[in-house]
Structure 1
Amino acid sequence: MSVPGQQGSPGQPKPRATTRIPAGEWQPIGIADLEPAAWKALRDTGNVALVAGPGAGKTEFLAQRAAYFLQTGICPWPQRILAISFKKDAAANLGRRVASRVPEHAGRFVSMTFDAFTKSLVDRFATALPADWQMSDGYEIRLETKAEVRQFLNDLAFSAPASLSRQLGFQSGRFIPDVVGGWHLPESIPTDDEVDAVTYAVREWWRACYLRPGMAKVEFVMLNRLAELLVRAVPKLKRALRMTYPMVFVDEFQDTTSAQFSFLTSVFGGETAVTAVGDSKQRIMGFAGALPEALQRFTNAFDATSYALAWNFRSSDALVELQHVIASRLEPTTVRATSKATAEDGHEPAALWTFSSSGREATFIADWIARDIAASDRTPADFALIARQTIKDFEPQFRVRLAAHGIRVRNDDARLGKMTLQDLLKSETARLLLGLLRLANEPHGLTTVWRDVSATMERVHGATDDDRARHRVGENLADVTAQLRTWLRAHPPATASAADTVTQVIGLLDGSALRRYVKSAAPGEDFDIALGAFEARLKTASAGTAEWGDVLDEFEGANAVVLLTAHRSKGLEYHTVFFLGIHARQWWAYQHDPREGTSAFFVGLSRAAHRLIFTTDGTERTGPIGDLFTMLTEAGVPEIDHG
């Protein structure tokens, strides 16, 4: 039975035979050393729970642990390591990190999101679902709004049997992640005389969305439940998964939901060596169903050994001290991390700036960034503008003020159809198309881009381990870029529509092979959605731009000041961070869940490596958000009024 990522899938290379390194002789690759706790955790071949705070280098740790297992033969060929992340970019980053450390084993490291993995199981094995759960006409992914869920629950209360109606007081915001996600699908749908209130409500939800005539409507939580049922109902599939993946890594474990935890336990509990990495202080997905104390639950359920990383490779010592003040609010017993970053002289590490208006704030900060860039070797990409949630409130003024200095802004939360810009830029589809356009526009000096595009095309055509096939792919790539170059020169951005440009690029490729590759390499990525988002971004980037090189620069926004929410900043780092809007308008939800709000505050501020500047106005500082100002005072953050 072929499982997701197993040998034989389209685009998956067959690993070359390599020499094993004795475990006692293995050394880290690409880095000088690991901290003592990391060495102990890395060599532990059982279940491991690793606490890794901001800047601890968890991605590097997982890459080194993968290299250790693969190079020593602890994970022998043809078995693989499965790495599960919660964000597409985190999954992609970890996959690339492993490929750079052990390229000869890259094909045996499968990195994807939780949703992508469970979706791939349903897509490939749906016909093996029990009869009661067979789909009549496929499915579409649709995320129900709170209003739609609330309407369903209201209707349910009126139509339910009298004996159950009083017990159906579910919260609309918690119903899908907690109630639907916490319910194991039985092989047979329960009858009316077998149901309690929870079973009745969830059964009716499945009937309304999934067990309906025509195409089913599902959320990722429902795909998770279907995947768990599949593995439970088809023992051969569970055995195949465990044989293929004797080791599983799960990143950001503090964000694990009830459904994901039960899936992990059901599929990989007992025989698989599972490594869970997380930090409860960064639990910011409670609204989406993240379990409280998820790492502790994992430790108990999997009888895992716990380790804690103590080094911080990102932030200067002064910022680590500030982070510790906030961390202690979340976990009073937390141990202060040790900064391993080299501090820069001449910086005030942290400050709170007060402004009388949003216009004054944007103007002052834009001028300040421009002066700092001019006086240093820093680039716009070294600066981040982070806010709690409503990024769109800040973008217009900052875009105009920074543009006056010739500095771009990239809003990572910008919507492009059904994708955000951040997700688009990390997608396999966009990376390939953008790379092809880069090579066509600038035929010389892009060695890294050529290598990346060539490697992708080799995987698309299954040519990774066939030298003659690789040569043919290289020749074809040269021909494709030459044809595309001719087209671009004849169609400058002012006359070429984004739709025509995308059609031209896709027309030069094997569309069927590309679709198969994307489905295999990035199971959570919808090729058509990504293609539509790519076209939308290209259209925006082309507006008023005369040269294709400038269009592509604008598309990527690589050398731009990034604007993003605290949630989307997770896992990223910048030289200087402006944490905008420390006031009630941005933090209105803080009073509903102060702990999660404090975690979001902690995540956002811990992105800074050398400088951290909070901004606020003259509005009320009492009430729930007064805690934020109290913490800054306790950390000794000075306040400066900039008028």
Structure 2
Amino acid sequence: MISHDQWVPSPGVRLEKNAWSVVRELDRSILLTAGPGAGKTEVLAQRADYLLRTNSCRFPKRILAVSFKTDASRNLQERIQLRCGWSFASRFDSVTFHGFAKRIIDKFLPVLAEEGLSPDYSIGTEAIPGKQITFKQLLPLAIKIIHRSEVARNAIRKTYAHVFLDEFQDCTADQYELIKLLFLDTGIYLTAVGDRKQMIMGWAGALEGIFKTYATEFNALPLHLYANFRSKPNLLRVQNEIIREIDPAAVTPAELISGDEGEILAAHFQHSFQEAKVLADSIRHWIKAGVPPREIAVLMPRQVDDYGSALMAELGNHGIASRNDSELQDLLKEPAARLVIDYLTCLYGKGQSDAWGRLMDLFTPYEEASRDHLHRLFETTYRGHVRQVRAASRTSSPYEDWWTLTSGFLRDVGYPTLTALSGDYESKPRLHEVVRDIRNRVDALLATEKTIPSALARLSDDQAVRFLTIHKSKGLEFHTVIILGVETQAFWGKLAEERCVYFVGVSRAKVRLLITTADYRPKPKSAGRWTENRSPHAEFVSHVTRHLTGRLPHL
């Protein structure tokens, strides 16, 4: 433990004045709003480090962090481990809302006696009375337990002293009700972090006005972060144009934006095929100039295949790899999928120190005796599999047994260790689904790539241009961002909601932003709603064209 005066941020971390206030606040709940690149997640990590290492979260109390996505939950947990070590991080529980709900159900299942839910219930696509519930039932059932059981309420309240809520703008009615039932007027302090300009989950039930409601009911201290550590100054000025339409109070003061770094481009085409050819040439030019392909993202407001297939084909003609991240992103963020990829990488690749390091991290949480036992078990399994791989390499079918070896590895690792990778895996069907999906992906790639290393390279291709929807890009950042089709026919929803979507896309760019429009886009075979004749979205385009810094090299 250290004193409050001894605590300092992690090396290399810069905290503005309001961030310091968030980190050290001990007597009130907090509402922290901030734009992209302001370091919201890092502020939560620093606050956890401060609370734990100064014993402001008094032992044995814990911190509960609730996120909306598995990767965000895992990212925060990993940051805490890096900053304050495992002994402190073991008192930090980072879960998704649905993972938290499932923990409540599993621990207090007898409270649901009326529902007759079996202890070995599963989670599936259909509800089967007593045997199976759906994903959407997790929160309502957890809320029932908290409503009915004082024991359940008190057990959770006695466990935690602080609660973190990340991406709070996406909070739904069920999620907020669960938080209120557990923590309102209890002396447990909440830290809610979000950005109302990135509220793009209204279609999924995100509550309108959630910031104001929370601030009032929890008497939360409102604070805002202005600094943006992601984007160059010219890009910040474009973002300010959109922020002024969404939330004028959140506009970054002009005096905080200095310099003229950052490239802003816009291009209009008669036909989307012309667009694809010019963009492919431009991307090739940027890659030759030193921008890694993985640092180039092509974003679109709707389906990737509908908008991006022509450009992906043109990139292929230039020998430039591209990847539809909207298809793969969720799977590759799954810890179990990453585990399979790492194991195969170590078995069939050479010099894969990063993959080996991640495999060794599997055993970090365990006590020394258990950790040594698991290490020995793993090494025995791995050495045996390496011998089989070497023997198979001398045959005509060197990869025939790849899945037999992988499933053997997963079996030896054991269900408890796999469950520790994600709270979602406490549902065995979910774990089996992820493992099945990654197996099918590798199988499909082996049909064309022929070798395990090349299949894995395509699966998690770090040297591919990324194609994804704006919704899927949330939380990511890239050197160069291209937004395809900034047209009224693409952004056809409610203007207030589409502004937020557009802002998310624009704010992914660190150095270069390019938007495109076209007069004509032929209807793809798979498309539903589609208009072939197009018109630029006047407001969205103007936000960018006011700040142009140049032209495309191939236009």
Question: Do the structures match in fold with TM over 0.5?
Answer: yes
One of 467, 470, 487 as aligned partner of 1:566:
470
Residue 552 and residue 340 in structure 1: after superposition, are their counterparts in 2 closer, same or farther (change >3 A)?
farther
One of 38, 54, 70 as aligned partner of 1:56:
38
Which amino acid in structure 1 is aligned with residue 312 of structure 2? Answer: R
Q: For 1:23-57, what per-residue CA distance to the aligned partner results, in whole angstroms no more than 9, with x for missing partners?
A: 12100013243111100111112311000111101
CA distance in 1, matches of 2:259, 2:465: 22
Query: What residue ranges of structure 1 are gaps of 5+ in the alignment?
Result: 1-19, 143-208, 415-420
CA distance in 2, matches of 1:84, 1:449: 28
Per-residue deviation, 1:332: 2.5
Matched, 1:577 2:484: no
Contact 1:494 1:546 (8 Å CA) reproduced: no
One of 315, 329, 334 as aligned partner of 1:402:
315
The residue number in structure 1 matching 2:423 is: 523
CA distance in 2, matches of 1:321, 1:370: 27
Residue 453 and residue 339 in structure 1: after superposition, are their counterparts in 2 closer, same or farther (change >3 A)?
farther
Identity of aligned residues (%): 32
The residue number in structure 2 matching 1:611 is: 512
Per-residue deviation, 1:286: 0.7
Contact 1:311 1:339 (8 Å CA) reproduced: no
Per-residue deviation, 1:262: 0.8
Which amino acid in structure 1 is aligned with residue 167 of structure 2? Answer: E
Per-residue deviation, 1:91: 1.2
- What is the Cα-based RMSD across aligned positions, in Å? 2.8
Contact 2:282 2:552 (8 Å CA) reproduced: no
Residue 234 and residue 496 in structure 1: after superposition, are their counterparts in 2 closer, same or farther (change >3 A)?
farther
Matched, 1:478 2:379: yes
What TM-score do the two structures reach when normalised by structure 1? Answer: 0.77
One of 355, 367, 370 as aligned partner of 1:449:
355
One of 93, 96, 118 as aligned partner of 2:101:
118
Residue 299 and residue 214 in structure 1: after superposition, are their counterparts in 2 closer, same or farther (change >3 A)?
closer
The residue number in structure 2 matching 1:538 is: 442
CA distance in 1, matches of 2:456, 2:326: 19
For 2:102, what is the secondary structure of its paired residue?
Answer: helix
Matched, 1:261 2:176: yes
Q: For 1:215-257, what per-residue CA distance to the aligned partner results, in whole angstroms no more than 9, with x for missing partners?
A: 455342x321110111221212212212222111111101101
CA distance in 2, matches of 1:386, 1:339: 31
The residue number in structure 2 matching 1:27 is: 8
Residue 640 and residue 448 in structure 1: after superposition, are their counterparts in 2 closer, same or farther (change >3 A)?
closer
For 1:314, what is the secondary structure of its paired residue?
Answer: coil
Per-residue deviation, 1:401: 2.3
How do 1:10-25 and structure 2 match up within 5 A?
A: 20-25=1-6
Contact 1:313 1:340 (8 Å CA) reproduced: no
CA distance in 2, matches of 1:553, 1:627: 41
One of 251, 259, 262 as aligned partner of 2:166:
251
Count residues with an aligned counterpart: 534
CA distance in 2, matches of 1:497, 1:72: 53
Moved more, 67-76 or 119-128: 119-128
Residue 451 and residue 128 in structure 1: after superposition, are their counterparts in 2 closer, same or farther (change >3 A)?
same
Contact 2:36 2:228 (8 Å CA) reproduced: yes
CA distance in 2, matches of 1:338, 1:31: 25
The residue number in structure 2 matching 1:83 is: 65
The residue number in structure 1 matching 2:49 is: 67
How do 1:318-333 and structure 2 match up within 5 A?
A: 318-333=234-249
Residue 86 and residue 396 in structure 1: after superposition, are their counterparts in 2 closer, same or farther (change >3 A)?
same
CA distance in 2, matches of 1:124, 1:141: 20
Per-residue deviation, 1:490: 4.5
Matched, 1:371 2:285: yes
For 2:50, what is the secondary structure of its paired residue?
Answer: helix
Which amino acid in structure 1 is aligned with residue 44 of structure 2? Answer: L
Contact 2:392 2:399 (8 Å CA) reproduced: no
Per-residue deviation, 1:120: 2.6
Per-residue deviation, 1:531: 0.6
Contact 2:234 2:547 (8 Å CA) reproduced: no
Per-residue deviation, 1:343: 7.3
Q: For 1:520-550, what per-residue CA distance to the aligned partner results, in whole angstroms no more than 9, with x for missing partners?
A: 4412241101011111211233232244322
CA distance in 2, matches of 1:337, 1:115: 38
CA distance in 2, matches of 1:564, 1:140: 29
How do 1:1-12 and structure 2 match up within 5 A?
A: none
Per-residue deviation, 1:374: 1.4
Residue 288 and residue 337 in structure 1: after superposition, are their counterparts in 2 closer, same or farther (change >3 A)?
farther
For 1:510, what is the secondary structure of its paired residue?
Answer: helix
Q: For 1:311-348, what per-residue CA distance to the aligned partner results, in whole angstroms no more than 9, with x for missing partners?
A: 00000111111001001111133231679899796x6x
The residue number in structure 1 matching 2:74 is: 92
Matched, 1:413 2:326: yes
CA distance in 1, matches of 2:170, 2:375: 42
CA distance in 2, matches of 1:562, 1:266: 42
Matched, 1:599 2:500: yes
CA distance in 2, matches of 1:391, 1:313: 29
Which amino acid in structure 1 is aligned with residue 384 of structure 2? Answer: Q
One of 331, 346, 364 as aligned partner of 1:424:
331
Per-residue deviation, 1:368: 1.5
Which amino acid in structure 2 is aligned with residue 81 of structure 1? Answer: I
The residue number in structure 2 matching 1:13 is: none
Per-residue deviation, 1:479: 2.9
CA distance in 2, matches of 1:403, 1:484: 36
Per-residue deviation, 1:269: 1.7
One of 417, 433, 445 as aligned partner of 2:340:
433
Which amino acid in structure 1 is aligned with residue 43 of structure 2? Answer: F
Residue 335 and residue 344 in structure 1: after superposition, are their counterparts in 2 closer, same or farther (change >3 A)?
closer
The residue number in structure 2 matching 1:203 is: none
Residue 321 and residue 496 in structure 1: after superposition, are their counterparts in 2 closer, same or farther (change >3 A)?
same
Contact 2:323 2:465 (8 Å CA) reproduced: yes
Which amino acid in structure 1 is aligned with residue 301 of structure 2? Answer: R
For 2:512, what is the secondary structure of its paired residue?
Answer: strand
The residue number in structure 2 matching 1:7 is: none
Residue 622 and residue 554 in structure 1: after superposition, are their counterparts in 2 closer, same or farther (change >3 A)?
closer
One of 91, 104, 122 as aligned partner of 1:108:
91
Per-residue deviation, 1:617: 0.1
Contact 2:487 2:535 (8 Å CA) reproduced: no
CA distance in 2, matches of 1:494, 1:427: 33
Q: For 1:119-168, what per-residue CA distance to the aligned partner results, in whole angstroms no more than 9, with x for missing partners?
A: 23223322222x433336945333xxxxxxxxxxxxxxxxxxxxxxxxxx
